[in-house]
Structures are given as structure tokens and as C-alpha cells.
Amino acid sequence: MKDRRSFLKLGAGAAAAGAMLPFASHASGNGVNWDAEYDMVIVGSGFAGLAAAIEAKRLNCKRVLVIEKMGVYGGNSTLNAGQACFAGTDLQKKLGIEDSAELMVKDQLAAGRGIASKELLMASAEIGPYVYQMTKDCGVRYRDHIITTGGTSATRSHQTEERSGAGFIQPMLKTARKMGVETVIRHKFEHLIRDDNGAVIGIQVRRGYHFGHEDSGELINVRAHKGVLMATGGFGYNVSLRQAQDPTLTAEVGCTNAKGATGDGLIEMLAAGATPVHLSHIQSGPWASPDEGGFGYGAGFSLYNFPHSIAIDRNTGLRFMNEIADRKTRADLELQRRDKDGNPNPALLIAPKHEAQNDPSMEKVLKYNVAWEFDSVEAIAKHFDVPLQPLQQQINDWNDFVAKGEDPQFGKRMDAGRGIKLTAPFIVQRLWPKVHYCQGGIQINPQAQVIAARNGQPIPNLYAAGEVTGGVHGVSRLGGCSTPECLAFGVIAARSIMKA
């Protein structure tokens, strides 16, 4: 029987009979037939992958390759709400917002319930302003308004004008290509290739791959002289894997991720001996709507309106949570909203139209029947079968809380709502969580090196960044904090590879 090293090394016969990438020549070495050779190979074209590619070029890396298994670039990164929590930016200063990397990390550690990595969080937060400026240099356009996300003690979520991750991905991809980064789609990562000393020297790739047809395309070997960065994202769409970690996350539970989020990179790194961390901590988004698929428009609507709106239990007509608590707190409470037979009875987010209309998401949720407009409290109660008197009293109480600047019910930060009262007409959206983010993954150190389970040491020439890594956020990740972490560790990985 071949040992693990022999399997990972692959060998000349695994190179798919002379298959060659169209942009490189064939070479041999280390017992492997190489179909292409680069200084740095990046697997994944989301935030982490593109940030690494751009930083590598800034550091004068000659040949950089980014591969993407799907037919379009960006993966999950294109599907988020286009927000990123940075601390200490010029926009915060312009708006009079006091913030710091230390305060941001303090908030994240609280959400992490004692098992988040302060070391990794600080490494990410400290280069936040650099990453923010990098994205602006690439042409990313931010709104002048910064929003408050759940669990934060300062307003720090910067949003792209497009209100989607595409607002980051498109200009970053364009910049990377302009700098000379080579990018390809429909190239699926299959295996790491290692030398006799265990160092990663390249990857095996399935060129011409089509998602869902696992034997499509042809196998080729790509050399990486300086290092391989795995930026392959999470496994939210791999139902069997996520259910093995959390039995409640069956196929009946929706998911906001792109269908390509199946954990290929994670699985292969585990096979190579990487250390798994916190795989059972899988986060659901409390801003999701059951009335649309995937991430949808409802997420943007909720994210904007949570600070000045209320979430209502349809059985009681009353609030049941702090609408800007951390994600896990809210998602867990939302999942408890049930009818008398135990079936889901999604909560209602009630927002004032006079403020909701200031965000472009309102037009979308109304157009696609994800939310509805009502002229009175009575109309809401009738439509959703909510007890009228408790609902009316709750709204009156809420407006009193706004006037006094204090929430005695759930301790919500009232400054986040900016004194906005809840008055007719109302925009109402249903809330039900969807699987959104995997806190768990493989272990890295602050240099983005992948750590081996056998000895706790870095696996030579193997780096990882983004959702494929674990241990950064702990039990719960704060909203708006995955984008800056992915970007930051992409940059860190590129710096580490270029220093090696």
C-alpha cells in the first residue's frame, strides 16, 4: 500500500497524459511532470484570493496564478451585503466616529464566547486601514454612510455603493489582471503535491471542470515555487459535512452560500495533516428571509433597518430580542419562534418607511414580495394574524424608548437608531435564519501558515486565508467582519510567501 506521502506526491502518471494549460509550457522535476509553473498559486478568487494576488504583485512577485473552480469569479464573496468592518478609517474620522483595532477585537472576542483567537483577530484588525485603502486604490466605492452591525460598540461597517460583494470583487479582479495576475475559471483544485520532505511544491488541478460533473475536465499539475495559498471558502453547501458537525443543519435548512461552497480545499488540507479547528461552529444569518432563496435582498434590508426597527413574535405581538445583538444570539432566538404545533412561525421585522426608503434595498424587497408595505398597525396585525393590542402597545413603548434613549426591554444601543421613531407607513419583512458562515476550518498562525496536527508546526509552503480557516471568530462571528478578515489574511499570506 502506498503511504500518504506517495499519494500526495502523486507522480508522473497522474498528470493526465500531457494535458497542458494554454498559458504555460511543460516541465519536469521532483518526479512530477509540471504542466505550468508559477511563483505563487492561489486557489479561490474571493476576497482573500484577490487581495493576496494584488499584494503579491505590489511586492514584485513575477508570476501569480488565481484559479476558480466555478464558471464565474468571486465565489461567496460576491454574494454578501458589500460591507466590511474597519476600525480607524478616514471615513470614520470624517463622521466623528471614535474607534480602534483594540475596540473592534474586544467586540469580536465577546461574540466568540471565549474561544476566538485574540492573536488572529488583532493581526486582521491592525491592518484594516491598509486593506481599506487598498480596496479604494482598486476602485472600490464606499458609501458615505457607515452602518451599525450587531454586537458592536462602535459604528464601523463600511458599505460599497453596490451593496454587494461584487462591489469589491469586480474592481479587485480588474486591478489584479492589470497588474499581471493570471486568472482562470473552471479549474478545480484536487490535491496538494508535496516533495519528499513534506513541503508543498504545487497542486493538481482539474482543468475544464463543470460543477456537478466531478469527472469533467482533465488533470494537470501546477508548480508553485514560493507557495500555495488556499482561499477556498467554507462548506455551507456541503450538507453531509455540515450535518456531521451540527446534526440540526439538515437539508431542510436554507443556505446563503454559492453552490460551490462545498469545502474541497478544507477536505484536502485535512487529508494533508492540517489541524481542524471549531468545525461544529456554523453560523446562521439572523437577517435572512424565508420568502426568497440564497442570500437575497432581504439581508440588505434587515442589516440597514435593524438599528431603528423592532422584531416581533407573531404569537405575542411583542419584541423578543435586541435587534442588534450578535448573530448567534439573534439567530437562536429567531429559531424559537414556532406555532402551537412546533412549526416555524417567522418573526416580523417592522421598519418605518420614512427611514427604510433611504436605502436602495427597500425597493428590491417590495418589488420581489420579500417585504410588504402597511399603512397602519391594524393592517399588520390582520395580515400576519398578530394580537393587535400588544403590538400597538409595543410600538408605543418602543417610541418611548427612542425618546428617552434607553431600552429597558433588551438593552439595545439606542444611539444606533439615531432617534428614529417607528411610525406609519411601515415596511414589514419576515425573518428566519439561514446557514451563512463556517467559523470552523483549518488552523493557521498570524503569518497565515497552515499548522500540522502532528507536530503543531507550519506545513512548509502552505498558506490559507478566509473562511477555510478556523479558530478566528470562535462561537459567533460579528456581522461585517468576514470581509476584512479575508482581505487582511490574503495580504498577510502574500507578505509571508514573499518573505519565505
Per-residue pLDDT averaged across 151-170, rounded?
Answer: 94
Task: Show the cell assigned to 244.
Answer: 456531521
Per the residue annotation, which of 319, 327, 330, 495 is the catalytic one?
327
Per-residue pLDDT averaged across 174-198, rounded?
Answer: 97
Q: At 169, is the secondary structure helix, strand, or coil?
A: helix
Per-residue model confidence (pLDDT) at position 253: 79
Which of 36-40, 146-150, 433-437 is modeled with the greatest confidence?
36-40
Residues 300 and 375: their CA atoms lie apart, in Å, by: 23
Let me know: does 216 contact 240? Beta carbons within 8 Å.
Answer: no
Higher pLDDT, 11 or 119: 119
Q: What Cα–Cα distance (Å) separates residue 457 from each residue in 63, 274, 277, 471, 486?
A: 28, 10, 15, 16, 22
Pairing of strands 218-230, 36-43: parallel
Q: Which percentage of the chain shows pLDDT scores above 70?
A: 94
Let me know: does 497 contact 40? Beta carbons within 8 Å.
Answer: yes
Per-residue model confidence (pLDDT) at position 81: 81
Per-residue model confidence (pLDDT) at position 295: 85
Find the angle CA(384)-CA(387)-CA(393) to the nearest 5 degrees.
115
H or E element that contains 303: helix 298-305
**CATH number attached to the domain at 287-432:** 3.90.700.10
Local confidence band at 24 (pLDDT 50, 70, 90 cut-offs): very low
Per-residue pLDDT averaged across 347-352, rounded?
Answer: 98
Q: Is 40's pLDDT higher than 90? A: yes
Helices 377-384 & 388-404 angle (0-180, nearest 10): 130
Q: Is 378's pLDDT higher than 80? A: yes
- What are the beta bridge partners of residue 227? 40
Domain residues of the chain, as ranges?
1-284+437-500, 287-432
Superfamily (CATH H level) for 1-284+437-500: FAD/NAD(P)-binding domain (3.50.50.60)
Task: Show the cell assigned to 379.
Answer: 393592517
Q: Is 488's pLDDT higher than 90? A: yes
Q: Is 161's pLDDT higher than 60? A: yes
1-284+437-500 with 287-432: one CATH topology? no
Task: Show the cell assigned to 275.
Answer: 489541524
Per-residue model confidence (pLDDT) at position 192: 97
Backbone angles phi, psi at 345, to 5 degrees: -135, 75
Q: Which of 358, 352, 393 is nearest to 374 (CA)?
A: 352
Half-sphere exposure of 426 (CA within 13 A, CB side): 25
Compute the Cα dihedral for 219, 222, 227, 229 and give only its sign: negative
Let me know: does 217 contact 188? Beta carbons within 8 Å.
Answer: yes
Per-residue model confidence (pLDDT) at position 47: 98
Local confidence band at 151 (pLDDT 50, 70, 90 cut-offs): confident
Local confidence band at 469 (pLDDT 50, 70, 90 cut-offs): very high
**Is 327 marked active-site?**
yes
Local confidence band at 294 (pLDDT 50, 70, 90 cut-offs): confident
Write the pLDDT tens digit of every residue in 388-437.
Answer: 999 999 999 999 999 999 999 999 999 988 999 999 999 999 999 999 99
